[in-house]
A and B are shown apart, each in its own frame.
Chain A
Amino acid sequence: MDLENLEKQVSLLEDIHEIECLQRIYAYYFDSHQYDKVVDLFSDNAISAEIESHGVFYGKEGIRRFYWDNIGKKGQTMPPWMIQLLIIQIGGVVDVDPDGVNAKARFQTWLPEVMPSAAGPRQVWIHGYYENEYVKEKGKWYFSKIYWNVTFYTTYETGWLRFPMLGYFPFPDYDAPPTNFHPYPSGYHVPYHFMHPVTGE
């Protein structure tokens, strides 16, 4: 093998590693309420962010509005018991395009959480799948698009079969309504970005 092809192979492995780290670092910042750092993980030319039933937010400005203004409450300190998040990142499948500039990945998260509700703080189990997009600019990988589709959002005490979805929570300033909001037990499957690795279909 010549050096040029070897470098391509090494670069591909490095790219996959950097993207896996980017996704995991996103979650660590998210969980420790560092939403300004989350916003900085997105490209200035990023497409969109959509999580759960909060709606779609377009462009870097929309992404800042989503994470910093809406989720992070613009850095306002919240009572520590109010929000406990552990968006654990599991099962990454990363695919880098042959151009080495664009990439897609599927992950899933299963998480314990505490969130405020009208009746006081509530402990919940949540699950969902990501289908995200990434772009390499000036040698660094950025998020281009985050899309997370919720499977269930249930109270600790009841479980996903008895009470799959606690509610529908669109943010008032979204750019577009939630897409594909079909929680359990709808039977909805989040489409894969990848082809079958053996049959290629």
Chain B
Amino acid sequence: MATLEELQARIQRLDDIKQIEQLQKIYGYYMDYAEWQKVVDLFSDKDPSVEEADRGVYKGKERIKKYFIDLLGGGPGKTPRPGWLSIMFQLQGVVTCDISATTAKARWYGMGMEAKPTTSLHEGELRQTWISGVYENEYVKEDGKWKIKKLHFNLTFRTPYEDGWLKVPVVGQTGPDSKILPDEPPTAYFPYPSGFHLPVSFKHPITGK
């Protein structure tokens, strides 16, 4: 029979996993409502990083703030234009977290529907799109709270509603921003139909490989 200490450790692990799942889902809800400062505050202060689609890697808390508030948000205090829509489901989380761990990893599917301005001849025109991709994220527990250490969203497709992923796999992705430059170029931007699959962080549950 297990000892009380062993059971406490096992419950703690389940609790940690639940908190990490909540953290990721809450990240999704804040992103959907363009609450950029709240998103920034979900990240660790110690060497965090963010990379989404083809935007490149932003490293460190100050650069992350720059990425969300200035690049995605258009500057402090700005609100999205009428019609702007972001709905990104946080799905199928597999959290890898050992007993007594203070770091964790997780893979998620991000899928949803958007209406956002995309670069075009009609600058600022809203496009309705289906978006899909994979997250491979890292988390760290600091002062009893789980925070995001590394967020990587790897885009599979972002297609106009009118066309679909086979006909037009990607719209509105035009590489890293020319003014708020990333610290590193994109690490794995190979959308459909490249056939690329972002490597999984978890070990096979049966074979351990």
Contacts and interface: CB of A to CB of B under 8 A. Distances in A.
Interface of A: 3-4, 6-7, 10, 13-14, 17-18, 21-22, 24-25, 27-29, 31-33, 37, 40-41, 79-81, 84, 86, 88-90, 112, 114, 121-123, 140-142, 156-157
A138 to B, nearest CB: 10
A112 B109 contact: no
Interface residues of B, number: 37
B205 A41 contact: yes
Contacts of B30: none
Contact of A88 (B7, B91, B164): B91
A31 B10 CA distance: 31
A63 to B, nearest CB: 13
Contact of A17 (B2, B14, B92): B14
A29 B205 CA distance: 12
A3 B145 CA distance: 28
B96 to A, nearest CB: 9
Given A21-B94, A114-B165, 10 more contacts: A4-B1, A10-B7, A21-B95, A24-B93, A80-B193, A80-B195, A84-B156, A84-B193, A88-B91, A140-B206
Contact of A24 (B11, B94, B206): B94
A157 B205 contact: no
A82 to B, nearest CB: 9
B197 A17 contact: no
B204 A40 contact: yes
Chain A contact residues: over half helix, strand or loop, or mixed? mixed
Interface in B32-72: none
B200 interface: yes
Contacts of A90: 91-92
Contacts of B3: 3
Interface string B184-209: 00000000111111001010111100
Given A13-B14, A112-B132, A86 B111 contact: yes
Contacts, number: 99
B199 to A, nearest CB: 9
Given A84-B165, A86-B111, A89-B91, A28 B205 contact: no
A56 to B, nearest CB: 23
Contact of B156 (A3, A41, A86): A86
27 contacts: A3-B3, A4-B1, A7-B1, A10-B10, A14-B14, A18-B205, A21-B94, A21-B202, A25-B204, A32-B197, A32-B200, A37-B207, A41-B204, A80-B192, A80-B194, A80-B195, A81-B193, A84-B165, A84-B193, A86-B109, A86-B132, A88-B109, A112-B165, A114-B192, A121-B166, A123-B164, A140-B205
B21 to A, nearest CB: 10
Contacts of A84: 156, 165, 192-193
B163 to A, nearest CB: 9
Most A CB contacts (10 A, CB to CB) among B2, B107, B167 go to B2
Contacts of B207: 37, 40
B166 A41 contact: no
B205 A21 contact: yes
Contact of A156 (B7, B95, B164, B195): B164
